[in-house]
Amino acid sequence: MPECSKFDASDEADSRQQRKKGGHPRMKVAQGKSDRNGTLAFAVALLLAVTLALAGCGKGAGTSDAPSQQGGETPKTATEPVTLTAAIDAVIIDPALEKLIQEELKASRPNITLNIIQPTKGNTLNELIAAGTVPDLIFTYNGRLSTYADRELLRDMTELAKTHQIDLSRFDPQMIDDVRKFSDKGELYGIPYGTNFHALYYNKDIFDKFGVAYPQDGMTWDQVVDLAKKVTRKDGNTQYRGFDPGAGISWIYQPLGIQADDYKTGKSSINNEQWRKVFELVHSFYSIPGNEPGTVTAADQFLKDKTLAMIGYTNLFSQLESAGQNGLNWDVVQYPSYPERPNIYGNASVNVIMVTKTSKHTDEAMQVIRAATSDRVQLESSKQGKVSPLKSETVRAAFGTGLPFLQGKQLQSIFKSKPVPYPLSSPYRSKSESIASKYFKEYDSGSMDVNSALSKAEEEINKMLLEEKAKK
């Protein structure tokens, strides 16, 4: 039994003396009715005293068990001051999110100092490791987890999550699945703290200028093609483009759940009907007269030049505030989808926090994760326009409400679609995708037909895969 500050051996000795006298100093027992009644009253009084005293137990010196927003109470952890380091790899931790995490940590675990190292030159994860400074925590995304295996960074956090009562049922099941799939046996190498989304942004002024109805939720890609034709026009010396997919073929193929090379077979998987559909769809956009991609990026055409009517993109909110101040009259609707894959957009990377295998402060590191995934931090982060991995409808309904420039926008349209289950990609995904993009451009320019483009891409991807495997 843990020690109590008041009710100890002296209380027990005092109780024995009172039993000899037929009473107890904590309660006056009525006398005169019967010894049995007096004894019963004393027993009740003693039980109450013990119960009240034990209610104060369990908080021994040097430990803490502060209530958790995750549900239940956390295990006791040391309260001695400790400093943890956290690296950032391939994600962004902006000042607003860092402030939320630090404030929550200060309130719940003031003994923990968290040093989040921004990945400036000399402070990237690779550079920290090379210098012998392996961080306690890493902020990253699920697609990067497999790259850490050879560096002895991965730790299965399944039992840690149980021990520290991080309730995984609070999270969208797909987010947890998208993390576990980057392990051999379903290990949990990170806890989600955020994710991304895809949406269709549009310039209301361009649609008003040409008297065309705005985009709507639930559109198919063919409907977007038709709408793009109506707003691709030249007005005076200004050429207005109707639509750009934002990243060439990349975000268009993802909702179909396909890859340019197959992780299991180690061979190209591009020469098929699904990839033909992707090539032909993106070509149908770019072949609209006046809608050809130019030297200026699609994002700049939309945000700065204000000559692009619609763009399919991920979270643009960090840039839309200044764009709006500079005259962009924009709104957002649900991302378009394929008829056979309704309400599905592309890969939405799951941002995670992982405790490194070498950390000597595992318990304290888990308290950082509890803070980052707490209800308060997730709610406030949602208000700042970041998608939470939690299932909470309250958190989702608060999305963007803390940013005045988002007021009146159709933000909830974003949640009408879900991301495709994150693919288990090969280590050569980016190289395969580059080859696919190369031959799409050949097809789009008219240099070759779609069949030849897919065949050539298949041949080059297979050659690349053989060369990469030979290096090992």
How far, in Å, CA of 292 to CA of 268, rounded? 29
pLDDT (0 to 100) of residue 76:
60
Query: Using CA atoms, how far apart are residues 303 and 297, in angstroms rounded to an integer?
Result: 10
Measured CA angle at 306 (ends 303, 311), to 5 deg: 60
Boundaries of every domain in the chain: 82-195+348-391, 198-345+423-470
Joined tokens for residue 10: 């002296």
Residues in the chain: 472
Q: How far apart, in whole angstroms, are the C-alpha atoms of residue 138 and residue 265?
A: 31
What b/e sequence results for 420-447 when a residue is b if at least 16 CB atoms lie within 10 Å of its CB, and e otherwise? bebbebbebbebbbebbbebbebbbeee
Q: Are strands 137-141 and 238-244 parallel, antiparallel or unpaired?
A: unpaired
Question: Two tokens at 345?
Answer: 């957009």
CA distance 82 to 114: 9
Quote the pLDDT of residue 69: 52
Q: Which among 144, 155, 169, 161 is positioned nearest to 352, based on CA atoms?
A: 144
Q: Do domains 82-195+348-391 and 198-345+423-470 have the same CATH topology?
A: yes
What is the phi/psi pair of residue 79, to 5°? -105, 5
Cα–Cα distance measured from residue 266 to residue 436, given in angstroms and rounded to the nearest whole number: 16
Single pTM value for the model: 0.83
The widest CA-to-CA distance across the chain, in whole angstroms, is: 111
The predicted pLDDT at position 260 comes to: 98
Instruction: Identify which of 39, 53, 42, 66 has the alpha carbon closest to the alpha carbon of residue 10.
Output: 53
What pLDDT is stored for residue 170 in this prediction? 98
Tens digit of pLDDT at every position of the chain (472 positions) = 333 333 333 333 333 344 333 443 333 333 343 444 444 344 434 443 434 333 444 333 333 333 345 555 555 667 899 999 999 999 999 999 999 999 999 999 999 999 999 999 999 999 999 999 999 999 999 999 988 988 989 999 999 999 999 999 999 999 999 999 999 999 999 999 999 999 999 999 999 999 999 999 999 999 999 999 999 999 999 999 999 999 999 999 999 999 999 989 999 999 999 999 999 999 999 999 999 999 999 999 999 999 999 999 999 999 999 999 999 999 999 999 999 999 999 999 999 999 999 999 999 999 999 999 999 999 999 999 999 999 999 999 999 999 999 999 999 999 999 999 999 888 899 999 999 999 999 999 999 999 999 999 999 999 999 999 999 7
CATH fold for domain 198-345+423-470: D-Maltodextrin-Binding Protein; domain 2 (3.40.190)
What is the pLDDT at residue 218? 98
Helix (H) or strand (E) holding 275: helix 273-286
pLDDT in tens, 406-463: 999 999 999 999 999 999 888 899 999 999 999 999 999 999 999 999 999 999 999 9
Q: How far apart are CA 14 and CA 147, in angstroms?
A: 65
Cβ neighbours of 449 (radius 10 Å): 11
The CATH number of the domain covering residues in 82-195+348-391: 3.40.190.10
**Dihedrals φ, ψ of 69, to 5°?**
-75, -10
Residue 355: strand pairing partners: 137
Token pair for 251? 């975000």
Question: Who contacts 386 (Cβ-Cβ below 8 Å, separation ≥6)?
Answer: 97, 194, 315
Q: What pLDDT, on the 0 to 100 scale, is given for residue 126?
A: 96
Nearest alpha-carbon partner for 164 in 376, 354, 368, 363: 363
How are beta strands 330-333 and 82-88 bridged, if at all? Answer: unpaired
CA distance 299 to 251: 14
